[in-house]
Chains A and B, each alone.
Chain A
């Protein structure tokens, strides 16, 4: 980050200061404006759309908190849902108490989640952050399983598998808001999400936040510049747990129910998936991952029963070919976006997309037909794929799908030099333009 010039003690009109402040944060402002407008856009202005947006907001906070751990400090946790779930339980119990008469407005419920997350983060963190790497990952797995089992056993607190419910509307109604409509819920979630993101970004700029990155890159060296890596890890662990708890509180607020699965391995796995697919190293990645995975989980399951398979394939493809995640893929284009040759790159993508789609259709057909056969044997051999009726008991659909897959893959392979050449032209132009020596090529 560019060093700010040391401000002289000049009197500056307040309006100038405000304008400068706004200018520096224009991307944040733009985001906030978009978020405010989003639920009114046709297509998203129904209950389903607003509910989806709310889910994405909650997932984004959760994924951002995970980014603090993994992306910024290098701590791989398989049990981060513990703090999400315990925050959720704190939230739902507070909602219960509000239902019973406690005069606290509902939008403050997520704070209880944050408090619970912070408490348990410090408690469990004290013993689990002494080591990093694989040992830490395994301990987090163990703690996650322990807490999950405990929640299943302690039914009075957790409601077990069925969970605990509360009523979001039965509390004080400040300004006449009942929080019954999904729109009001969405705006509450947006408020907390943006606040959380701002706070997490600010945390990363503090001295201890910078040391998180240092500890991630080289914990040994971090000790040799005066910082105890264990203490740094404990601090970031507690902060991450706090925000995970906040997300849990939002979850309680949104769904009016929290069950044992909120601390379970499935949810811990989901946030890991989100962070990785979106891009482990950046804020943008966490948000992208949260949005993408939430959308896939909600929408894809409407189209196909094999959606978990596609998710798994997508994930493995990411690990193998795009370890920087979606954000990494996007940011990879940053040096060449401004060049004239960029249009050529986009063109090459468009050309390569055709055989890729063909191959994908073939693969999807094969997978879907197989899946249907195995999981719904009574549904018969007739099925409808891509708006075409097929009889899976004959060989034709299988043959056709295999041809599509093989043909598409073959031609896609032929397109690769095209894309590589277009990239080469663009990066040559970019390098010539900026005059910086060659640093990293895709």
Chain B
């Protein structure tokens, strides 16, 4: 029992940290620009594919640096040449643009690397057991993942609070027009923020590509959950995104391990439900089956009860 709990907790933490890595950039972009960037998970995907390719040509450690930089450039270009022209049409048009962009990025990936998952294997240099727990090994790359995401959190937290750019961004979170009126080059800040946010997603992709399957569908699989994290955590709050990621990561991982259903509960109370009862099917659903639902349930409840999110300073 303890073994299950410990491993579930560890895996939940790792999954939560992965979610945080991907969503930290989106928190930045969404909070500052109000753009629901549907293409954010696509940047994550690009990071995974780029690091695979660069890893094949050069090596893992260069890929860790170059891939996010490439993604940052792409993000900057997207904002500068595409999204900038859509801002004045309103948030709906922005969302739709990123929607179409996500679509295009998937097709681009298919065009270059094909439809099937690619052999994005953990590079030998980090493919060793970091430690042993209950007789099972815990891989080093997962430890690296934890280190990187904690590092991201620290970087973002300090950058927000200690640098001038961070100060401007924090001001723009609640008073974007005023910041522009004060003479800051808001369009350039937007480009910088979009680039940084995308780079973070790309960096997450480098590592995440090993943890998850690297395939064209990975963006669509992770995308909605990342939104949930950002919204539940709250606008403008890195800490909120962190808490929300950990919450979702741990709860979902634990749920998957729970193979119980309402029927089992009824059995404990000595109630039997006939197979042809209309309610039977619902009661037979195991908690593990509902695990994918948990983030969305959380999203809907949070938006209804507290649209600001856990630690948000402004409503979406």
* B-binding residues in A (CB < 8 A): 70, 74, 76, 127-128, 130-131, 133-135, 137-139, 141-143, 145-146, 149-150, 153-157, 265, 269, 272, 276, 306, 308-309, 311-313, 315-316, 319-320, 323, 367, 370-371, 374-375, 377
Given contacts A134-B34, A137-B36, A320-B86, whether A127 and B304 have CB atoms under 8 Å apart is yes
- List the A side residues contacting B36 at CB < 8 Å: 134, 137-138
Whether the pair B296, A142 counts as a contact (CB closer than 8 A) is yes
Whether the pair A153, B224 counts as a contact (CB closer than 8 A) is no
A303 to B285, CA, bound (A): 43
- List the A side residues contacting B86 at CB < 8 Å: 319-320
Distance in Å from the Cβ of A90 to the closest Cβ of chain B?
Answer: 16
Convert B67-84 into 0s and 1s, putting 1 for each residue whose CB lies closer than 8 angstroms to a CB of A.
Answer: 000000000000000100
Q: Does B114 contact A (CB under 8 A)?
A: yes
A106 to B97, CA, bound (A): 41
Whether the pair B92, A135 counts as a contact (CB closer than 8 A) is no
Whether the pair A312, B107 counts as a contact (CB closer than 8 A) is yes
- List the B side residues contacting A313 at CB < 8 Å: 104
* A-binding residues in B (CB < 8 A): 34, 36, 82, 85-86, 89, 91-93, 95-97, 99-101, 103-104, 107-108, 110-115, 224, 227-228, 231, 281-282, 285, 289-290, 292-293, 296-297, 299-300, 303-304, 307, 315-316
Distance in Å from the Cβ of A135 to the closest Cβ of chain B?
Answer: 5
- List the A side residues contacting B293 at CB < 8 Å: 145-146, 149-150
Q: Which of A127, A128, A149, A311 has the most CB of B within 10 A?
A: A149
Given contacts A276-B96, A319-B100, whether A309 and B227 have CB atoms under 8 Å apart is no
The 7 A-B residue pairs with the shortest CB-CB distance in the complex, in nearest-first order: A309-B107, A312-B103, A142-B299, A316-B100, A315-B100, A142-B300, A142-B296
Q: Which of B85, B113, B296, B316 has the most CB of A within 10 A?
A: B296
Whether the pair B103, A308 counts as a contact (CB closer than 8 A) is yes
Residue of B100, B101, B111, B299 touching A139 (CB-CB under 8 A): B299
Nearest B residue to A313, CB-CB? B104
- List the B side residues contacting A130 at CB < 8 Å: 304
When A and B form their complex, what is the total count of cross-chain residue pairs whose Cβ atoms lie within 8 Å?
119
Known contacts A315-B96, A319-B100; 11 further A-B pairs (Cβ under 8 A): A76-B92, A139-B303, A145-B296, A146-B293, A149-B293, A153-B285, A153-B290, A276-B96, A312-B100, A316-B97, A374-B112
Whether the pair B303, A154 counts as a contact (CB closer than 8 A) is no
Given contacts A134-B36, A146-B296, whether A375 and B303 have CB atoms under 8 Å apart is no
Nearest B residue to A321, CB-CB? B85
Whether the pair A155, B114 counts as a contact (CB closer than 8 A) is no
Whether the pair B97, A320 counts as a contact (CB closer than 8 A) is yes
Residue of A315, A323, A371 touching B89 (CB-CB under 8 A): A323
Whether the pair B104, A131 counts as a contact (CB closer than 8 A) is no
- List the B side residues contacting A138 at CB < 8 Å: 36, 227, 231, 299, 303, 316
Residue of B228, B292, B300 touching A143 (CB-CB under 8 A): B300
Nearest A residue to B299, CB-CB? A142
Residue of B97, B100, B111 touching A367 (CB-CB under 8 A): B111
Nearest A residue to B109, CB-CB? A374
- List the B side residues contacting A319 at CB < 8 Å: 86, 93, 96-97, 100
Interface majority SS (helix, strand, loop, mixed), chain B: helix
Nearest A residue to B304, CB-CB? A127
Distance in Å from the Cβ of B108 to the closest Cβ of chain A?
Answer: 8
- List the A side residues contacting B299 at CB < 8 Å: 138-139, 141-142
A302 to B82, CA, bound (A): 31
Residue of B110, B282, B292 touching A154 (CB-CB under 8 A): B282
Nearest B residue to A309, CB-CB? B107
Whether the pair B97, A135 counts as a contact (CB closer than 8 A) is no
A138 to B299, CA, bound (A): 8
A157 to B280, CA, bound (A): 12
Q: Can you list 30 A-B pairs, Cβ within 8 angstroms, ordered by A? A: A76-B95, A127-B300, A127-B304, A128-B304, A131-B303, A133-B316, A135-B316, A138-B316, A142-B297, A142-B299, A142-B303, A143-B300, A149-B290, A149-B293, A149-B296, A153-B289, A154-B281, A269-B99, A276-B96, A308-B103, A309-B104, A312-B100, A312-B104, A313-B104, A316-B100, A319-B96, A320-B97, A323-B89, A370-B111, A374-B114
Residue of A128, A316, A320, A375 touching B110 (CB-CB under 8 A): A375
Whether the pair B281, A157 counts as a contact (CB closer than 8 A) is yes
Residue of B113, B114, B292 touching A149 (CB-CB under 8 A): B292
- List the A side residues contacting B285 at CB < 8 Å: 153-154
Distance in Å from the Cβ of B191 to the closest Cβ of chain A?
Answer: 17
- List the A side residues contacting B224 at CB < 8 Å: 141, 145, 265
A365 to B210, CA, bound (A): 34
- List the A side residues contacting B315 at CB < 8 Å: 135
Nearest B residue to A130, CB-CB? B304
A153 to B303, CA, bound (A): 24
- List the B side residues contacting A375 at CB < 8 Å: 110-111, 114-115
- List the B side residues contacting A265 at CB < 8 Å: 224
Distance in Å from the Cβ of A363 to the closest Cβ of chain B?
Answer: 13
Q: Which of B82, B89, B100, B224 has the most CB of A within 10 A?
A: B100
Distance in Å from the Cβ of A312 to the closest Cβ of chain B?
Answer: 4
A38 to B97, CA, bound (A): 35
Nearest B residue to A150, CB-CB? B293
- List the A side residues contacting B85 at CB < 8 Å: 320
- List the B side residues contacting A311 at CB < 8 Å: 103
A158 to B316, CA, bound (A): 34
Whether the pair A139, B300 counts as a contact (CB closer than 8 A) is yes
- List the B side residues contacting A272 at CB < 8 Å: 96, 99
Residue of A70, A139, A150, A308 touching B107 (CB-CB under 8 A): A308
Nearest B residue to A368, CB-CB? B111
Whether the pair A156, B281 counts as a contact (CB closer than 8 A) is yes
- List the B side residues contacting A269 at CB < 8 Å: 99
- List the A side residues contacting B110 at CB < 8 Å: 371, 374-375
Nearest A residue to B112, CB-CB? A374
- List the A side residues contacting B281 at CB < 8 Å: 154-157
